[in-house]
Amino acid sequence: MPNYTYKMNSLSLIFENCGSYQLTEVHFYHPLAQSPRFSIRGKDTGIDGITGTFQWTSAVKATVALFLKAKFFDLCPKSSSYPELRGGTSSLAASLDYALSKKPLWLLDMFGFDQTGIPICQRLFSRLNPERKRGGQVTITINSKFLSSSGISIVVNDREVTDITELRTIGSQIIPDLTTELEQRGEPDWIKLDTSNLIKKAKVDAKSHKLTFEKLSDLDTYFSTVNKKLFTDSTSRVQVVGALAHTWWPLIKPKSQSRKEVLSESQSELSYTYSGESNLDEWVANEYAKSGVKSAYIPNSSAQYDLWIYGDHIFSDFFT
């Protein structure tokens, strides 16, 4: 028997390393499954206790890539992107998306059915823009309420792997396209963005940047670039929260996309509070609501500045 312990609500990717890493088995345990699931690589197992088989197809590679990313995120949450697959035609994400729609035998073998006969893979994976019906890209994530990243085990030669470097090596060897996905994120250089020329004065230390702008319009233009980097183009799921006196951002719309399209394509979530009582504040709240943005009016707020929180980044706007 392997020298690791199986847990309920868990998934184990079993690898062999004889000079190179190869996925050989997948073990899945969940209370909704009628029994533990065991899948072995190949067409014919001939081994008692193995309930299914899989071959090393693009969809299986995509499934393994997503679980590897989830485990990497579990071990190093602040330095890795949120575990997801995103892509268009011929991508790993598209391969898994197709499998989730067609439900081939290997997928049903690997994860099984619940007691009502519903394939568990329908609950295990979440899809944004399934089958790319709106065009563009499909995004696939693991339903963390169904299987947390801490419940995923990577096992090599009967030994559970918890070392970040070895995890990167496994990913890069078996799925070369995954190499950059498991790299640490770099901190943006806030004074070298496309609109940084609008900064009148900058004071920078190890923990913060104090930037001065001559006009409010310059600040808005600069912060639009910040918002694009951290929100619109985000490849990770970030919670964005604002506490504002007044709001007017929907007046500043991208020329090529509507506000609703931008918000729907981002993987992040946006909400804010405001204390302004003008017609514009109310109109902005209604416009944002059409795109799924939550807002709340808090009267008599004493805040003297606007505050935005993008995950680990905090931005305060002071007006003089």
Q: Which tens digits make up the pLDDT trace of 228-253?
A: 777 776 656 677 888 888 887 766 65
Structure confidence at residue 39 (pLDDT) = 93
Q: Are residues 309 and 257 in the same domain?
A: yes
Q: Residues 262, 169: one domain?
A: no
pLDDT tens across 271-299, in order? 888 888 888 888 888 888 887 788 888 88
Same domain, 227 and 160: no
Both 18 and 120 in one domain: the answer is yes
Q: In terms of residue numbers, what domain contains 74?
A: 10-182
Asked if 25 and 174 sit in the same domain, the reply is yes
Q: Is residue 1 part of a domain?
A: no
C-alpha pair distances (Å), 254 with each of 98, 161, 224, 238, 263: 32, 45, 10, 21, 12
What confidence score (pLDDT) does residue 184 get? 45
Could you tell me if 47 and 146 lie in one domain?
A: yes
| Last-in-domain residue among 152, 182, 212 | 182
pLDDT value, residue 78: 54
The CA distance from 91 to 69, in Å, is 16
Question: pLDDT under 70 in the chain at which residues?
Answer: 1-7, 44-50, 77-81, 177-189, 205-207, 233-237, 250-268, 301-304
Task: Give a yes or no: residue 191 inside a domain.
Answer: no
Decide if 187 is inside a domain. no
User: Are residues 210 and 101 part of one domain?
Assistant: no
Asked whether residue 158 falls in the same domain as residue 304, the answer is no
pLDDT of residue 217: 86
Q: How many domains does the chain have?
A: 2
pLDDT of residue 1: 41
pLDDT value at residue 81: 64
